């Protein structure tokens, strides 16, 4: 079962996503080069909004997880800082040694950023506190190493021993890698850090027309040297673009339930869907309203989608980006033209493959004429689309 989310969003003069040279990112597509916004950029901004709007444990992506998350919490719990650092280092070494991979340590610092969930942090803090008794540092270190090894041995009799299995054994039932890991996945280089597959698949957004960037030349005046310096104290430039972007997101609903609850994907219908519903509502709202953007202070690139199409059903997802393989002309009402082109492309696909089992819902700030599509306000069609996934 999948939820597909298609959007059309127009931005005025802005620099939404820059490459390593500071220029707007581009991609050749069809008969024109387009301005694009990377999926990583989009997901970053959506994650930040979801942390504010969905009350679920978040994740921490950092090389400094042990030093800046675990140690301070142990100190807050009454442990002196040096002991906290020593026992945390012993724990980190034991965990990384038990895992076969490349999540290596330099002191308390991991050599590459890793996404940890709050339940994983809670687990490690409790593990250290439970085995740090009596003031005997060496005994505490030995007890921690022995505890980790015993847990892994016991779990390994039945399943692959990793963080997910360890947390389950300790009574932590879900959201191991936090909300971010549950939605966008966690790639791991060590088997101790349980992999989390992304249930949300995000395409790079791109303009439905050819790229038409412009270089904005700017100067800075020195306020304390106006008499002596008649010109600019500094001159620079940046690239600006304006465009109508097509965005596409797919949610694998059974995998979403699996990541949220710890169940097997095939048993997703047996789970309480309340949390998944809340997450999907927050995600759709974020996709439609949250703006990615560099140079916020000088461009104010705040815009909202003016067209949202939701599709729910069991059929294989497919993008509608090919509706714009031939770039739209930037004249007349380009938004109306983009919506019409999307509808035409959808009808052609239906004619080729037959009308699938997807249910379709749309919300727009413009007139829309699409066969088999239910129209309404965004909040309304979001609720109906989610109901179609879970029933009720």
Per-residue pLDDT tens for 282-295? 999 999 999 887 78
Q: Which of 166, 71, 66, 176 is nearest to 110 (CA)?
A: 66
Phi, psi of 29 (to 5 degrees): -150, 125
Helix axes 137-156, 81-98, angle to 10 degrees: 30
Residues sharing a CB contact under 8 Å with residue 387, sequence separation 6 or more, in sequence order: none
The rounded distance, in Å, linking the Cα atoms of 174 and 270 is: 15
Residues sharing a CB contact under 8 Å with residue 328, sequence separation 6 or more, in sequence order: 208, 209, 244, 334, 337, 338, 341
Burial of 289 (0-12, 13-18, 19+ CB in 10 A): middle
Phi, psi of 244 (to 5 degrees): -110, 115
Tokens coding 118: 């709050």
pTM equals: 0.79
Does residue 178 come out as left (phi exceeding 0), alpha (psi in the -120 to 50 range) or beta?
left
Q: Is 285 helix (H, G, I), strand (E, B) or coil?
A: helix
Is 358 in contact with 370 (CB distance < 8 Å)? no
Render pLDDT for 341-364 as a digit per residue (tens, 0 to 9). 999 999 999 999 988 778 999 999
The rounded distance, in Å, linking the Cα atoms of 27 and 319 is: 17
Is 321 in contact with 246 (CB distance < 8 Å)? yes
Q: What is the pLDDT along the chain (392 residues), one digit of tens a residue?
A: 999 999 999 999 998 998 888 889 999 999 999 999 999 999 999 988 988 888 776 666 778 888 888 899 999 988 889 999 999 888 888 777 655 444 567 778 877 777 777 777 888 888 888 888 767 888 888 888 888 777 666 655 544 444 455 555 555 555 455 677 778 876 554 444 555 688 999 999 999 999 988 876 666 666 666 666 666 665 666 788 999 999 999 999 999 988 787 778 899 999 889 889 999 999 999 999 998 877 888 889 999 999 999 999 999 999 999 999 999 998 889 999 999 999 999 999 999 998 877 899 999 998 888 888 999 999 999 999 999 999 86
Radius of gyration of the chain (CA): 25
**295 C-beta neighbours (distance < 10 Å), count:** 18
Q: E strands of 191-321, at which residues?
A: 200-202, 205-207, 214-220, 234-252, 307-313
Is 181 in contact with 59 (CB distance < 8 Å)? yes
Long-range contacts from 365-372, C-beta under 8 angstroms, 24+ separation: 365/306, 365/307, 366/306, 366/307, 366/335, 366/336, 366/339, 367/336, 368/307, 368/339, 368/343, 369/343, 370/343, 370/346, 371/347
């Amino acid at each position: 079962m999948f939820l597909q989310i298609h959007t059309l969003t127009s931005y005025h003069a802005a620099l939404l996503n820059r490459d390593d040279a500071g220029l707007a990112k581009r991609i050749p597509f069809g008969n024109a080069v387009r301005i694009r916004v990377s999926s990583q950029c989009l997901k970053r901004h959506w994650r930040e909004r979801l942390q504010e709007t969905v009350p679920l444990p978040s994740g921490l992506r950092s090389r400094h997880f042990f030093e800046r998350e675990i140690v301070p919490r142990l100190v807050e719990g009454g442990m002196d800082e040096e002991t906290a650092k020593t026992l945390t280092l012993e724990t980190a070494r034991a965990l990384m040694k038990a895992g076969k991979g490349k999540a290596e340590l330099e002191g308390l610092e991991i050599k590459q950023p890793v996404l940890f969930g709050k339940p994983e942090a809670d687990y490690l803090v409790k593990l250290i506190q439970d085995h740090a008794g009596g003031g005997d540092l060496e005994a505490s270190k030995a007890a921690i190493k022995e505890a980790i090894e015993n847990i892994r041995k016991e779990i390994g009799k039945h399943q692959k021993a990793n963080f997910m299995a360890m947390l389950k054994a300790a009574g932590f039932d879900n959201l191991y890698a936090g909300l971010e890991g549950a939605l966008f996945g966690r790639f791991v280089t060590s088997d101790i850090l349980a992999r989390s597959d992304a249930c949300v698949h995000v395409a790079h957004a791109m303009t439905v027309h050819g790229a038409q960037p412009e270089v904005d030349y700017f100067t800075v005046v020195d306020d304390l040297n106006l008499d002596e310096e008649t010109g600019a104290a500094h001159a620079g430039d940046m690239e600006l673009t304006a465009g109508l972007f097509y965005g596409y997101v797919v949610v694998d609903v059974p995998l979403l339930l699996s990541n949220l609850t710890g169940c097997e994907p095939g048993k997703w219908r047996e789970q309480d869907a309340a949390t998944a519903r809340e997450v999907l509502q927050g995600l759709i709202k974020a996709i439609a309203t949250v703006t990615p953007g560099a140079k916020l202070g000088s461009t104010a690139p705040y815009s909202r989608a003016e067209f949202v199409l939701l599709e729910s059903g069991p059929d294989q997802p497919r993008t509608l980006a090919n509706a714009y393989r031939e770039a739209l002309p930037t004249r007349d009402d380009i938004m109306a033209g983009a919506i019409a082109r999307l509808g035409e492309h959808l009808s052609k696909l239906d004619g080729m493959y037959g009308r699938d089992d997807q249910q379709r819902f749309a919300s727009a700030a413009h007139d829309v004429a699409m066969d088999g599509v239910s129209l309404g306000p965004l909040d309304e069609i979001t609720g109906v689309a989610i109901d179609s996934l879970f029933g009720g």
